[in-house]
Structure 1
Amino acid sequence: MPDYQVGLYRHYGVGFNSDFVTVKVVGEPPVLTPEQLDALIHNRQQAELWLELLPPEHFELEGFNLIQLVDVTEQEILSELKYDLLEHNVLQTPARFEQIQEKLRVLFAQPSLQLGIAAYDEKKRAFVDFGRKINHSFLTKQVQHQSADSSFRLIYERLLREREPLVLKNVATADIPEDLREQIIGLGINSAILALLPYGNDTVGLLELGTLEVGGLDEFSLDKVAQFLPLFAVAVKRNAEDLQTRIHSIIREKFTAIHPTMEWRFMDAARNLLGQIDAGNRTAEMEPIVFEEVYPLHGSCDIRGSSTARNEAIQGDLIEHLTLANKVLKKRRTTSTCPFWTS
C-alpha cells in the first residue's frame, strides 16, 4: 500500500478474525452423507461443490469480522533482498542496483536514501570502485578526484581498526575532518552510516548509506543494517570472484606463463581491457605491458634456439659414442681367433 506521508510504499499482512460471527441454519439443515462430507473436506477450494451441497439460502451469518493489517515491510524487504542479492552480477547492473536502493529506501522510510558499495582489495589494502560501468560508491570516488583524499582514507582506516560501523547522525556536527564534512554535505548527504562488509575473517567491501534528512540514519538504524549486511558481503564476494575469473581467463588467453612478481601488472591490464569491453568497445585490445626504466637485478630468461642446440649436442654425442663402439668391435674382430668373429 502507498504511504503518502513519505512517498513510498509499505507491505501489510492481512489477518481475519471471525470469532464474533455466528452461523445460523434457516429451515431444515442439509443432510450430507459421509462421502459428501469427505468430498467437501478434500476440495476446500471448489466453491461450486460447496454451493451445491450447502446452499447459501439455508444459512445466515450474524455478528462481525475483524480485519487487521500488520506492517510486515521489514520482513518482506529483507526477504526480497536475500533473493535479489543471490542473482548473478546484480551489483554490476545499474537497473538492478537501483531496485535494491529503492527497497532500502522503503525499509528505512527515507525517500532520499543513497546506497553505495565499494569493494576492498586485500592485496592493495585499499577500497576500489565496484564494477566498471558505473561507480556504486558515492564516497570512495571522492578519494580519486577530490582534495579530501587523506581525510577519506583516515575514515576508512578507522573503520578497519575499530571494525564497527560509523554513524554520522548529523554530518554538520560529526567528529570528522572539516574538508571531509564539506565534501559529504556537498553530495547532499546530511546523515550517513558506513559499515565494513565482513566475509569470514576478511573484509570484502564497504557499505554506504546516506540520506538528505538530518537524523534520518542513527544508532537505531544499525539493527536493520545488521540484518542485510551479510547479504551484501556474500554478493560482493561472489561478484569479485567472478571478476577475478574473467581476468585470469584473459591472461591465459593473451599470455604464456607469467612470473609471480609481474603478475599484478598483467592483471591491471586485463582489468582495464574488461572495463573497455563492458563499456561497449568490442574491438578493444590489450594495452602493451611495458616496465619503463626498470632494470632487473635478477631474473629468469630463455635463450632462443636453446632446445634445438641441446638436441643437436645430444645427437652428436650419440654419434661419437656409436662410432667409437663400432671401432672397438672391428678391432676385436681382426685380432680374435674365435670362430664367431669370422666373416
Structure 2
Amino acid sequence: MTHNFFKNSPFQTLISFHKLIETLEEIVEKKLDHKVNYASALIKEIEPFPEFRTGIKNFSLIKKNEKLIKSLLGDLFPTALTNNEIKAITIPFQNFTFNYSERFNKILQDAGGKFDMSIRNFDENQFYIMSCSLILNSYYNQKIEFSKPLFYDIPDANGILKHYRILYNADFIDILPTEKSISLTTEDIELLMDNYDDIDLWKEKFPKESWILKGFAIVVLFDATIESAISKLKSNLLKSETEYSDINKNLETIFRSIFKVADLKVGLIVYNEEDDKFTRPLFNQNEIGSFILFGNELEECNDTIFGSTVETLLKKKKTFAISNINKFSRIPGNEKLGTHLLQQDIKSCILAPVLKNNKLLGIIELVSSTPNELNSVNANNLDLLLPYVVDTLDRYNIELQNQIEAVIQREYTSIHSSVYWKFREEAKKYNQTYNPNKDYIFKEIVFKEVYPLYGQIDIKGSSEHRNETVKEDLKNQLAALINIFENLKENSTLPLLDQRKFEMQSYFDDLDLDLKADTEQQIQNYIQKEINPIITKSTIDNENKALIDKYFADLDDKTQLFYHSRRKFDDAMSIVNKKMTSILDKEQKEAQKIFPHYYERFKTDGVEHNLYIGASISPLQTFDAMYLNNLRLWQLQTLCKMELEHHQIKSVLPYKLEVTSLILVFSSALTIRFRMDEKRFDVDGTYNARYEVVKKRIDKANIKGTEERITQKEKITIVYSHSNEEAEYLKYIKFLQFKKILDPKIEKFDVEELQGVSGLKALRVKVINVGKKALSKKITYQELLNELN
C-alpha cells in the first residue's frame, strides 16, 4: 500500500509515543500493578530511540522498528481482538497508517500492494480546514463537531468495493503553538466559523507548519458497506441525467458491494400500463440497459419470451430468481427465456417487480455470468434497495407525464410566455381556495386596450396547385391500368376487359374538366372494387407481371392511389412552411425585447401570425406608442426576410410554389379574451369583430373595380383604413427602399368592399431579391426616425 501525504498542513507532524512512555514510567515508579516488570523492560528496550519520546520526523524509523512499536502499543491493540478489530495508528486526516491489526492487514493484502488508501471525497483544502479545526478544539476549547462521516473505499480480493467508516481517537496527541503561530481573538474564531469555504482565510489565521502535532491517533474502521452503498444509491438516483451520465457503472458498483457478486450487472425496464408493454426508461438510455429487452425498445408483456415468469412478476408481483439458468431452460415452457438469457452469457439472475401502492412501475434486473451467484436467498437484499428505486421510477413517471403535458401545451394548446403570468395567477388562486365540496368558477382571462398586428405569407394558388396534382396522379394511375389491360387483352378472352378499359378511359377524360369534390373518392372505390380483383386473379405472363408489380409498387400504402405529384407538392408546401415558421419564431424572440407582447402563429396554406401589444399584457412595464411603432417596423422587416428566403429556396423545391405577403393595419385598441371552450384567444366585442372579419377575407379580396387580387408574388401588401396609417407605413417603406430592401415603386389602391366592411385601402411594394444582406442587421424604429430626420 502507498501513502500519499497532504503536503500543505498547519502542522509540523511528529510521531511520538511520549504519552505511552509516561504511562509506563508511572507504572514503574508507583509499582501500580503486575505490569511493573513488563513496563520496566519495555522502557529499557526503547531507551536507544529518544525519538520515540521527542518525536519521529524520519518515518523510516517506524518501518525499521515495527516489532518494538507493536510491543509498545500492545495494550491498545490486544492480541485477542486483532482478528476482529479493524484498527491502526495514524495521523488524523492524513493517508498514513501503520501498526495494523491482523484483520486490517488482511483487508489491505486483499486490496493489493499498489492500493492507495485515501479518504473518499476529501481534498487538500478540506484536510487543511479540518486540521485547523483540531487546533480550535484542542487549544482554543471550541466544540466543533465533525458530523460528516469519513469513509475508506477498499476493494476485496474479488474486486468488490467495500466501504469502511472512519473513527479517530486523538487521546494521545498534543497540539502546540510555534513562533509562527498566530494568536486568535474571539472575533477571528467567529469569522472562521462563518467562512468554512474560504481556504485563504484559514491559511491566513493558521499559516503553514505554524503548529506542532505531537503524538499519534488511533483509527478504527467498521464495515459500513451496506449503509454506505444505500446512501450512494440514493444520491445517484436523485441526480438528473445532466448531472450524472455514468449512472449504470456506479449502480453496478453499489449493487456488487451489497450482493458481494463481482460480475453482477444491473438492468431496468419500465412497465407501461396503458399499452401493457415493457420499455426502456427514457432517462439515461445510453447508460441503463435491459437484459430482457436486449436491444429492443419495447416488448409485449404477454410475449412468449417470459413464459411462466409473467404469472410471478405481473400477476403475483413477486420477485423471480433463477439460480441456474442452464437447468431452468431445460424445463418445458422456460426454453425461450432461458435461451434468451444464455445468449447474453447470463447464468443466474433476479427479476424483481418495482411496486408503488401495489402498482407495477417496472422490473429491476440483476444478472451474473456465474451459476448460483444470484438466488432466492440473496434476493432478499433487494428489500434494502427497492424503496429508492421505487421513488426514482415514480418520480420518472411523474416527470414523464409532466413532459407529455408540456409538449401538449407547447404544440397543441400553447400559452404564450407573455401572458402565462396571468394564467399562473389564476391557477394559484384556485390552489389557495380549493375546496372539494365546492365548485370553483375560474375567472376569465382578459387583456384590455391591446393593439393588434396581423400578417401572413401565403402559398399563391395553393388550391389550384393541389387540384392539378390530384388530377395528374389520377391520370397517371389510370394510364398505367389502361396499359396493363391492353396487355391482358392479348392473353385473355374476357369480354369484361373492354368494358373496364372503356370505363377507365371515361374517368381519364373527365379529369380534363374541373375536379369535383368526390372525384378522387369515386375513382379510388372503382379501382379497388372493379379493377384490382381482375389484375390479381388473371393469368399473366412474365411481361405483364413486371407491369403489375411496378403498378402496385407505385401505390401509396395508405390510399392505394398514385401519390407522386401530390407528394412533391406536399413536400414543397412543408418545406416552405417550416422555413417561414422558423424565421418567424426566431425573429419573434428578438421582437419580445422591444416590449413583451402576445404572439401566435398558424400554419395553413402558408403561415399567419397575430401579435397583441399593450400595457395590460405587461403591467410591470410602462407602455408607449413607440413600442407599437417598433413592432410594426419589425413585422415589415420580418416579412421581407421571409420573402427573400423563399426566393432563395424556390429553385430547389420539388414543386414550384410562389408566395404572397400581407399586413393588416388596425390602429384601434381592442380587448382579447381567452375562450375556454376553444383554448385560444379571440377578440371581444361587436366592434372588434370587424377586425376578425377583415382578417379572414382580406387575402382573397380584389383591387376595387378590377379582377386583380390585392396580393401578388414577391410583393408585400399593406391594408389600412386611415391616412395616418398610410403616412406611418410610407415612412417605413421609404427607409427600407433606402436600405435597398424594397423596390422604389409603390402601388396605392382601394380594396373592394367586403361583407360589412368598406373603405379599406392598400399599399403594395416589391421586395428586392438582392436585399438579403441588408436584412442581416435588424433596424429599430428609432434608427428609422434618425434617418428620416
TM-score, normalised with respect to structure 2: 0.26
Out of 58, 69, 74, the residue aligned to residue 226 of structure 2 is 74
- In structure 1, the partner of 2:154 is 2
- In structure 2, the partner of 1:120 is 271
- In structure 2, the partner of 1:173 is 327
Distance 1:154 1:125 in 2: 17
Out of 142, 150, 154, the residue aligned to residue 304 of structure 2 is 150
- 8 Å CA contact 2:267, 2:365 repeated in 1: yes
Quickly say closer, same or farther: Cα 1:199–1:90, change in 2 above 3 A: farther
- In structure 1, the partner of 2:400 is 243
Out of 216, 229, 238, the residue aligned to residue 86 of structure 1 is 238
- 8 Å CA contact 2:278, 2:299 repeated in 1: no
Distance 2:372 2:357 in 1: 32
SS at match of 2:268: strand
- Equivalences, count: 239
Cα deviation code 1:190-246 (max 9, x no counterpart): 111001000113111111100112111122322321111111111111112212222
- In structure 2, the partner of 1:35 is none
SS at match of 1:124: coil
Distance 1:85 1:256 in 2: 33
Output aligned runs, 1:224-303, within 5 Å: 224-255=381-412
Would you say 1:197 and 2:354 are equivalent positions? yes
How far off is 1:256 after superposition? 5.5
Would you say 1:129 and 2:285 are equivalent positions? no
Distance 2:335 2:304 in 1: 12
SS at match of 2:377: helix
- In structure 1, the partner of 2:372 is 215
- In structure 1, the partner of 2:451 is none
State the one-letter code of the partner of 2:223.
Answer: D
Output aligned runs, 1:11-30, within 5 Å: 11-15=163-167
- 8 Å CA contact 2:312, 2:319 repeated in 1: no
Distance 2:324 2:307 in 1: 20
- 8 Å CA contact 1:90, 1:96 repeated in 2: no
Distance 2:271 2:387 in 1: 15
Distance 1:232 1:82 in 2: 8
SS at match of 1:6: coil
**Which protein has the larger Cα radius of gyration, Structure 1 or Structure 2?**
2
- 8 Å CA contact 1:197, 1:204 repeated in 2: yes
State the one-letter code of the partner of 1:246.
Answer: Q
- In structure 1, the partner of 2:37 is none
Distance 1:16 1:248 in 2: 53
Distance 1:158 1:206 in 2: 12
- In structure 2, the partner of 1:104 is 255
How far off is 1:157 after superposition? 3.6
- 8 Å CA contact 1:89, 1:239 repeated in 2: no
- 8 Å CA contact 1:204, 1:237 repeated in 2: yes
How far off is 1:136 after superposition? 2.3
Cα deviation code 1:21-70 (max 9, x no counterpart): 8x9xxxxxxxxxxxxxxxxxxxxxx9xxxxxxxx99xxx99xx9875432
Distance 1:95 1:141 in 2: 19
Distance 1:127 1:85 in 2: 21
Quickly say closer, same or farther: Cα 1:256–1:71, change in 2 above 3 A: closer
How far off is 1:87 after superposition? 2.2
How far off is 1:7 after superposition? 1.6
Cα deviation code 1:99-140 (max 9, x no counterpart): 222221222222321111111111122222211743621113
- In structure 1, the partner of 2:318 is 164
| Stretches of structure 2 lacking an aligned partner (at least 5 in a row) | 1-152, 175-201, 203-210, 415-577, 579-691, 694-789
- 8 Å CA contact 2:307, 2:336 repeated in 1: no
Cα deviation code 1:241-278 (max 9, x no counterpart): 21222222223333369xxxxxxxxxxxxxxxxxxxxx
| Stretches of structure 1 lacking an aligned partner (at least 5 in a row) | 24-45, 47-54, 258-282, 284-306, 309-343
Quickly say closer, same or farther: Cα 1:173–1:192, change in 2 above 3 A: same
Quickly say closer, same or farther: Cα 1:149–1:4, change in 2 above 3 A: same
Quickly say closer, same or farther: Cα 1:247–1:220, change in 2 above 3 A: same
SS at match of 1:253: helix
Distance 1:139 1:171 in 2: 14
Distance 2:317 2:299 in 1: 26
Root mean square deviation of aligned Cα: 4.4
- 8 Å CA contact 1:114, 1:211 repeated in 2: yes
Distance 1:83 1:220 in 2: 27
- 8 Å CA contact 2:156, 2:162 repeated in 1: no
Quickly say closer, same or farther: Cα 1:13–1:188, change in 2 above 3 A: same
Distance 2:242 2:274 in 1: 24
- 8 Å CA contact 1:142, 1:149 repeated in 2: no
TM-score, normalised with respect to structure 1: 0.56
How far off is 1:89 after superposition? 4.3
Out of 285, 288, 292, the residue aligned to residue 139 of structure 1 is 292
SS at match of 2:289: coil
State the one-letter code of the partner of 1:167.
Answer: A
The structure carrying a bigger helix percent of its residues is 1
Quickly say closer, same or farther: Cα 1:246–1:215, change in 2 above 3 A: same
- In structure 2, the partner of 1:289 is none
How far off is 1:90 after superposition? 8.0
Distance 2:341 2:258 in 1: 23
Distance 1:90 1:181 in 2: 36
- Compare relative contact order (CA 8 Å, sep 6+) and give the higher one, 1 or 2: 1
- 8 Å CA contact 2:277, 2:299 repeated in 1: no
- 8 Å CA contact 2:163, 2:225 repeated in 1: yes
